[in-house]
Chains A and B, each alone.
Chain A
Amino acid sequence: MTLSATDEGALALEEIPAFLFQLLKEIPARAASDDPRVESRFYPVPGEDDLLVEDWKSLIQPELQELFLSAREVVRTDLATASENSGTFAMEIPKNHMESWLSALNQARLAIAGENQFEEKDMAEDLAPDPSDARSLALFEISFFGFLQECLVKMQD
């Protein structure tokens, strides 16, 4: 897979192997986890004040849900524009979609980590992916999505 910045400030991803493109396609679904452990991570309580927590759940949480959903939809739309050539894929992340990609990638990473209860020590493990092992694959996904996030952060720097 090769990554480069276009003249328009987009991130071009080319020669994406089918295996990695499949992982990219799964970002919106991975990020939309309904696991309660993930929900509590996506919508943390803002403090100890009961009234504030109640207000937060009724007013802020729906706004955040809408924001996260919107980011996932942008990613889904961009992925639909990918082209295939001899078994590899190519696509671009436009400059004005990078914020949504950063959000969706972060959502996916946090959701996978939440579902698998990964901790700091898990993140330091050897990341050679083993598709037959769900845990190994999950760690690889987090690492791959993190790599893309790093690229997007650098482009925004």
Chain B
Amino acid sequence: MPAVDVPDARTHEKTGVDAPWNVVVHNDPINLMSYVTLVFRKVLGFSKEKAREHMLEVHRHGRSIVWTGGREKAELYVQQLHSHLLLATLEQAPQS
């Protein structure tokens, strides 16, 4: 009888990988507010209002979670935000 792969062997690990991640943008005193708003619209597809809300959250509270989801896409967003010289990090979202 030929050997057969067992597909459920890594089920637990996959759940860990798929746990949600937050993309967090941190405050920077040099970046212009209008520029940050524009970058949020371009990179994350936010409306003008939503982009401005997140920009103000960054400005007032030092950080804003701008996206939550799978790790691969979160890494891509962080990379794109870095390419616009915004301070962005990846954080594992708290599990509910």
A interface residues, Cβ below 8 angstroms from B:
41-47, 49, 52, 60, 63-64, 67, 102-103, 106-107, 109-110, 113, 118-120, 123, 142, 146, 149-150, 153-154, 156-157
Q: How far is the CA of A103 from the CA of B31 in the complex (A)?
A: 11
- Assuming the contacts A46-B88, A60-B82, asked whether A120 and B29 have C-beta atoms less than 8 A apart, the reply is yes
Q: How far is the CA of A63 from the CA of B28 in the complex (A)?
A: 22
A44 touches B32 (CB 8 A): no
A149 touches B85 (CB 8 A): no
A39 to chain B minimum Cβ distance, whole angstroms, is: 12
Interface residues on B, range: 20 to 34
Q: Please classify the interface of chain B as helix (H, G, I), strand (E, B), loop, or mixed, using the class held by over half of its residues.
A: mixed
B91 touches A47 (CB 8 A): yes
B50 to chain A minimum Cβ distance, whole angstroms, is: 15
B90 touches A106 (CB 8 A): no
A64 touches B82 (CB 8 A): yes
